[in-house]
Amino acid sequence: MKNDNRFTRSVNTMKKLHAQKYNEAQYISDSNHHQMRDTDRSFTIGGLRAEDLVKEFGTPLYVYDAGKISAQYNRLHTALPEGSVIKYAVKALTGISVLRFIHSLGAGADVVSIQELKIALHAGFTPSQIMFTPNNVDFGEIQEAVSLGAEVTVDNLSSLEKFGIAFGGSHPVAIRLNPHIMAGGNLKISTGHSHSKFGISIQQQQQILAVVNKYGIDVSGLHIHTGSEITDIQVFIRVAEILLEIATYFPTLRFVDFGGGFKVAYKPGDKTTDIEALGKMLGETVDNFNKKTGKQLEIRVEPGKFLVSEAGYLITTTTVVKETPAVTFIGVNSGLNHLIRPMMYDAWHEIENISNPDGPLKQYTIAGNICETDNFGSDRMLNEVREGDLIVIRNAGAYGYTMASQYNSRLRPAEVMVYEGRAHLIRRRDTLEDLLNGQILIDL
């Protein structure tokens, strides 16, 4: 597991992983939920024992399985119609090594800040492969994105007007619409309803057309993203109908972008998005439109969680087992500063004691070490937990490290990627110097 320079090889060499058929046999599937244990009952990630990873890199530790990311990309790529474009939603997991790997699979990038755009460039994406889809940003960011050569999406009439004044028809732009559709697993991540801040309302279509015609704007695409964790594929078909109905008004249109929001399994039996059925139905819907109109609209999607969520694990160490008259707590050396989703979204993450897989089941509440309530899971049945046991939190690849903080002046964990049977440190653990970096001590 030596950390060497193999992971930083050229993108062309890395593409061989995509060309090879991923060995799904290493996963024992249960409704898309993967138990990952080898013959001696050790918990493995990408074929490597979690205990060995901890010995080398310590805890808390984020670990990502590159093979699982590749398998998810291949599945989506196969399901979508030929010629479709996959733009990875960079905000889900932003590390440059992860981005370089996803780029090597053939994906483009969807970014939401000028910093994400520059990080994507640093990771190897070309400007033309990057779509900048910001919200409520200063127009200067949009101008900078154009100067860097990226594609741009605007989601409000003010920015559309400014874009027309600044660029006219000299640079293409996509328009994000709000379809007034409620969808997604949590109100905080539902982005297409009538009270959402995202997108220009479809009821403002005439105002959009007035601005476009006034400045001769080259509208290259129409975009809708309704939310996250969508299981009903009819939501996407309704979005397609809305986009294609409006598409007839934009003669320069080249693509329709359906965003992301594909649901992955968080626990056994979870309903997930039927990617294969979705790809077939979207393909038929857009193809029928193209035949009727003579257009050749390209299909785009922007998966984030779908590609990286199941590939990620947060490994923690039990520091305290605390019994009270009401509940037994497992205290671990992590908290909402490392994985905020359970507290912010009431998100469910499967939690497992990998140090005692055959111990009797007992009920626990798994709590972090932050100075406020930060439970990872309440009233969970785990194999008996002892101080020092390793506790793994699954589905931590998306919106885990990217939403991590230094709250309570605690250090952010290291990140490791397992690639072709080797563990690679892709981000070191924070140090005290990182906490102090940027601060200025003044004389009083």
Give the residue numbers marked as catalytic.
Answer: 371
Give every CB contact of residue 183 below 8 A, 6+ residues apart in sequence: 190, 192, 226, 227, 230, 232, 235, 261
β-strand partners of 314: 62, 393
Would you state the structure tokens that stand for residue 30, as one six-digit string? 């249960």
Torsion sign over Cα 19, 99, 173, 235: positive
Q: How many CB atoms lie within 10 A of CB 30?
A: 12
- The stretches of 268-385 forming alpha helices (DSSP H) are 275-293, 305-308, 341-345
Name residues whose C-beta falls within 8 Å of residue 188's C-beta, 6 or more positions apart in sequence.
Answer: 344, 345
DSSP letter assigned to residue 336: T
H helix intervals, 127-250: 139-148, 157-167, 205-215, 233-247
Amino acid letter, residue 291: K
Q: Closest Cα partner for 199 from 166, 223, 176?
A: 176
* E-state strands within 23-80: 28-30, 33-35, 44-45, 48-49, 61-65
The strand pairing partners of 65, in sequence order, are 418
Place of tokens 């594929």: 233
User: What tokens does 125 get?
Assistant: 């994406």
Residues 122, 128, 130, 136, CA torsion sign: positive
- Give the Cα-Cα-Cα angle 128, 311, 117 (nearest 5 degrees): 25
> How far apart, in Å, do the first and last CA atoms of the chain sit?
50
The span from the CA of 230 to the CA of 191, in Å, is 12
